[in-house]
Amino acid sequence: MRPIYYIRLAALWLGICAVTACNNNDESRLLPTDDSSQFANLTDVVPDAILEIRYYGTYNFVGTRIDGYEQPTALMTKVAADSLRAVSDDVMVLGYRLKIYDAYRPQKGVDHFVRWATNVADTLMKQYFYPDLDKSVLFEQEYIYERSGHTRGSTVDLTLFDMKTEKELDMGGTFDWFGPESHPDFCGNPETGEYTGDNSKSPTGRSITEQQFANRMILRQAMMRHGFKPLDSEWWHFTLKDEPFPDTYFTFPVKQLN
């Protein structure tokens, strides 16, 4: 187990890498602001979206409501919300709706994650979200950062809801699962959409089926068609390529905008 001060140093370095792509740019170029004027209530723009804001409740990897989440709503920059509306219209034709777990995340929420991660004794939700990991490696393996793309307002965590079965589409794993099983290339090639069944990255031999991999690809391809880029470690996470505030992080709370 690493001493706490080593974990804090790791958090600082990894947090900087997360927002600068480790290009040695000065972190001071990132500007904090509480100006929400360029944001929209996501359901005003994407009325078909279903919200399950995990960080407003207690079913999340921390196990408590996260700081800065004052109402169970989702916010995004207006530009990103418009692009997500196009995704929604696209998947509706296929019989799906978008289900949103998280969108804009205030810096206060990110700070809450960092405090939780440094308290390695708090493993309340381990069995649900990181049963195969020791909590002390969450910074080292880049599951927790001091900065998040979500604070820039154009990133969203989501899945698909099947209107025929009235259930979430089976993606073979839960949102916020800490492990290689969440990677888009787990058991397949996301570039070609080919299922390989290769589960060698799983530390405990977990796997997903060909259909579960295909379901992940439906979401991925729809998001990419409308200008979102995926993350290589989370099948549910997408950021608008041409995000309007790449050098800004926001601090206002998550609540309905007037």
234: annotated active-site residue = yes
Q: How far are the Cα atoms of 16, 65, 74, 105, 236 from residue 111, in angstroms, in the given order? A: 14, 13, 19, 11, 22
Residue 30 token pair: 């990132």
Of 145, 116, 58, 104, which Cα lies nearest the Cα of 256?
104
DSSP H or E segment with residue 14: helix 4-20
Catalytic residue among 52, 191, 234, 243: 234
Give the span between the Cα atoms of 126 and 129, in whole angstroms. 5
Place of tokens 């109402």: 71
| 3-class DSSP assignment, residue 150 | helix
**SS3 of residue 129 by DSSP:** helix
Positions annotated as catalytic residues are 234
